[in-house]
Amino acid sequence: MSAGSARGRLLIDGRLVPGRLGWRGGRITEIVTQLDAAARAEALLGPVLAPGLIDLHVHGYGGNDPIERLEAMAGALARHGTTAFQPTLFPAVPARLGELAQRVTSCADRLNSGARVLGLHLEGPFVNRLSAGALPVEDLADPSPSALRALLGPSGGSGRGIRTVTLAPELSGAGDLVAELVRCGIRVSLGHSLATAEEARAAARAGASGATHLYNAMRPFHHREAGLVGFSLSDDALHAELIADLVHVGRDAIELALAARGPRSICLVSDALRGAGTGCERFHSRGCEHVARDGAFFHPGQPPRLAGSALGQLAQVRLLVGRGVVGLEDALTMASEAPARALGIENECGRLVLGARADLIALRGDALDLEAAWIGGESQAR
C-alpha cells in the first residue's frame, strides 16, 4: 500500500482546522494542526480534507444496483465521494431475500476496488403494509421465527453478510425478531412503521439502534402521540437516517432533527436508486417506471409516489450547504462520522484520527468539487 500526505482544512471533531494529514499502509499515521505561519497559509488555501462518506442506505447508483452490478456500483460511489456503503436490498419473500443477500455478499467478497461494502441493509420484509411507501406490498412478510430462519439461513445471517435489517416494531412477533437479530449481531433499524413512541421504546430496550429514513414512511408526529418520529428525536437510543435531498424531508424538519440530536446522531443517507448520478429523467427497475423530479425519483401516478433519491451523498451535502440549511462541517459529519457511529466503527473510519483507515476525500472551492478520493490510502480514479 502506498504512502501519501495532503494539506488543507481537516475535519476534526466536527470542525475544520488547517493542518497536514499523512498516511501509510492504508492507515492515517500523521495529523498535524500546529503549523507555522507559512504552512498554515498554505493549508488554508488547500482543499477541505474529510473522511470518506459512508452510506447506510443506498439501493443503487450510476446506473447500477447491488444485485446485478455491485462492482460497478462500488466504483461509481467511490468516484463521487462515498468510500463505504451498505448495499440496500428491497423486500422479497424471506427465503428469496436470503438467497439474494448471499449472492450480493459473495460478489462483495471478491471486490478489490471501489467503495467498501460494510454489510448489507435489508429494507424489510418485516415492515408495516400500511406504511410501505414505495416498497412492494406483495413482497412483505409477517414476523415469525420460521420467516427469520428462512431469511438468515443456517449461518444466522453471518454468511449472508446481513448487517442491518429494517422492521416495524408494532407488528405482532416483531419484538422477538428484534431480540434474535441483535443476538445474531445484526443491527435493527425501525422504519416503514406506524409504531407509537412506547412501541419504539420497547424495541430500543430490546436492542434496536436505528431509525430508517426519519420522517418518511412513519406515523406523523402528534402532540398526544409522538410516535417513532418523536422517540427518535427525543431519545439517544436510535441513530436516525435522514434523506437530505430536500424532497423527502423539508428544511424545517431537518433543522428540527439537528437541533434535537446534533450532527453526530443524524446519519445523512442517500436512499439513492439505480438511476441516481446518471442525470437520467426516467428509468425502469423491478418492473416499475421511475421519473426524476427535483432531485428525487417518483413512480408515476395520481398522485406520483416518492420512490427514492436521484442524488448521492456528496450531492446532498452540496445541496444542504448551498441552500444554507446546515454548514459544511455539520453536513460532512452527518455523512461520515454519524454513520460510522451508527455501525460502531467510528474508530475505524468516519473520523480523522490516528490509526483510522485512510478513507478520505478532498473537496475544493465553494462548489465542493471532488478533487480526490482515497480508499485505504489508494487514490480512486476520477
**Number of CB atoms found within 10 A of residue 328's CB:** 20
Edge-to-edge strand list for the sheet holding 296-299: 282-285, 288-293, 296-299, 305-309
Strand-strand pairing, 360-364 and 369-375: antiparallel
Give every CB contact of residue 33 below 8 A, 6+ residues apart in sequence: 10, 12, 17, 18, 19
Give every CB contact of residue 36 below 8 A, 6+ residues apart in sequence: none
Distance CA 209, CA 338 (A): 13
Q: What is the grid cell recorded at 210?
A: 436505528
Of 287, 274, 285, 203, nearest to 238 by C-alpha is 203
Decide: 70 and 106 in contact? Cβ < 8 Å: no
What is the DSSP code string of 154-205? TTTTTTTTEEEEEE-TTSTTHHHHHHHHHHTT-EEEE-SB---HHHHHHHHH
Decide: 244 and 326 in contact? Cβ < 8 Å: no
Spot the catalytic one: 271, 294, 330, 369: 271
- The question of whether 271 is a catalytic residue gets the answer yes
Helices (H), 308-374: 313-322, 328-335, 337-343
Q: What is the grid cell recorded at 372?
A: 480526490
- Catalytic positions, written as ranges: 271
